[in-house]
Structure 1
Amino acid sequence: MNAAIPRPDHPPRMAVGISGASGFVYGLRLLEILRELHVETHVVVSRAALLTMQHETDHKLSDIEARSDYLYRADDVAASISSGSFRTMGMIVAPCSMKTLAEIAQGVTSGLISRAAEVTLKERRKLVLMARETPLTQSHLSNMLTVTQMGAIIAPPVPAFYAKPSSIAEMVDHSLGRVLDLFDLNSGKVRRWVKTP
């Protein structure tokens, strides 16, 4: 007689934060890729991210909602992802502003993104921050070190030119694919480095 195969009590879930740094496209495209991978998304967008969206794209909040399984208000600190009992694979903040990074580093949970990030860390789940800023100040670097020591991963969206990208979309997909690699999710968007003899 075969033993019963344990089944998860929920589908694969990912918390996604989109903060106000330049690079709104990273968050939007991440939602599309996670949907392709059948990962349930729990999304929060900061007010600053909505301003960035208006400056950088022609998208609207309804476009984010259409790509999300669950979309929460930035001030909804009672949302599901604000509790450690709500199980997820982890959280990706794409892009991650220096303000959001600072809040996470200092344990300041003024909104849902930083609260969900804190929950991710306290539950020892994976937190990946696609930090966007240049040049970096001492406080930026210090905050990056702090969150790394807390268990987070800083993954700036740096283009991989060995992949010979032919468009911005390919560079975005490659960066997101490398982030998803950290969760053992194969997006099929990464051109892997292979050295020929």
Structure 2
Amino acid sequence: MNIAIIDYGAGNVQSVLFALERLGFTGKVTSDANEINTADKVIFPGVGEASSAMKMLHEKGLDKVILQLKQPVLGICLGMQLLCKSSEEGNAKGLGIFDIAIKKFSNQMKVPQMGWNTIYNLKSSLFDGISEKEYMYLVHSFYAPANEYSIATTNYGIEYASAIQKDNFYGVQFHPEKSGKAGELILKNFLNLESK
């Protein structure tokens, strides 16, 4: 299987590569439009700040590439947030695949949310074999409010969408590559998805 991991300078690419290797797959870290377009599956990782990450996507022309992808795409953490319409982080304009405005957690909460929290209301084959209230590893200060695309929910003072899906695009706020066996199963489920 041909797996492209989008390289735009804001990714947690090593931990994703290692998780794929543990599952017996090899990913290719690339910013080449042709390699991304022709991959069977595309992973869009992200760690960092939204507005500067969007700037790097624009500079490499990867924003246009991502919008045209037809195979299954998985956005992780910041990658998920960049698939959305906008983010309060740096007043960033996102890719707009999901009509969701990413918000900052209120000052009353400990930010970032860092560590293990549960996911529930699971609604996708991405979560085949995953129990309701399974623990996942999260590190983030911004979140997607509950919305029509939600396929998993997490509670951190408020309920928010910890995973979203629209057509061939999937996004997870948590880090499956750092979430033990359950996280690896989610990655495996993603790799097993049929192209639409």
> TM-score, length-normalised on structure 2?
0.42
Larger relative helix fraction: 1
Higher radius of gyration, 1 or 2: 1
> TM-score, length-normalised on structure 1?
0.42
